[in-house]
Amino acid sequence: MRFAFFGDVVGKAGRLAVVDHLPRLKGDLKLDAVVVNAENAAGGFGITRSTADQLFDAGVDVLTLGNHSFDNPSGISVIENEPRLLRPCNYPPHTVPGRGAGLYQINGYNLLVINVLGRVFMDSLDDPFGAVDREINNASLGDVADGIIVDIHAEATSEKQAMGVFCDGRASLVVGTHQHVPMADTRILPHGTAFQTDAGMCGDYNSVIGMEKEEPLHRFTTRMRSGRFTPASGPGTLCGIFVETDISGKAVRAEPIRVGGVLSQARPTL
């Protein structure tokens, strides 16, 4: 199985990066599935029906979210009613709409996707390790699921790496989101799980983590607010990771993807 995961889509620049580059990548890499984190897709905060549809129409199979899942009120009904859209699975039971994991039949494969929120330097939800453990046990790799992707949306690199170790051998990929910077540690862990601490963002890198530079700089230098954060609107980079698995669902190949925009380019070849 071949699949790709792409990091946080930030605003219009991020959505256009997906629209402009994903269709060709799907063909060139013969991707069976594509998962994208879209928690910043609508104006930098949350998601809407139209932004979700734009990403689905570009070839995305499943969308994940994060700490901004419910920032856009118009997106709450989408989270509640769209089965291809996941919010973190470790919200306390029955407190928020939507689902935190899904088993999807895509191109003849059963793909389990799990979205979970870290707790270090973030809002404290239920235990992310216990939540992921439950979801994996419900659809174990090589038995129920042909592939398992865990998106850990977290601030601390240590927490993301610990999740990789925790899932090693039980998931096809554990990948971090939220920091908006692609990490250079793409690898396969000892027991067969592909890992990258952060996938990076899909957005304009001539920015401060996807936002126009002036307001973040003003806050850092004055400790005062002068306005709202606005997504940067220059050419976007599509950032993520490509994974190929064997019949057991474990990774045999993992490589970074960076296409378009101002970053150095990285594109796997078959």
For 261, counting Cβ atoms within 10 Å of its Cβ (0-12 exposed, 13-18 middle, 19+ buried), the class is: buried
Residue with tokens 């039980």: 170
Determine which one of 68, 153, 178, 180 is catalytic: 68
CA 208/CA 215 separation, integer angstroms: 9
Active site residue 218: no
Residue with tokens 């699949």: 3
8 Å CB contact between 15 and 232: no
Pairing status of strand 147-153 against strand 173-177: parallel
CA 147/CA 203 separation, integer angstroms: 27
How many Cβ atoms are within 10 Å of 104's Cβ, its own excluded? Answer: 17
Residue with tokens 């050419």: 235
Residue numbers annotated as active site: 68
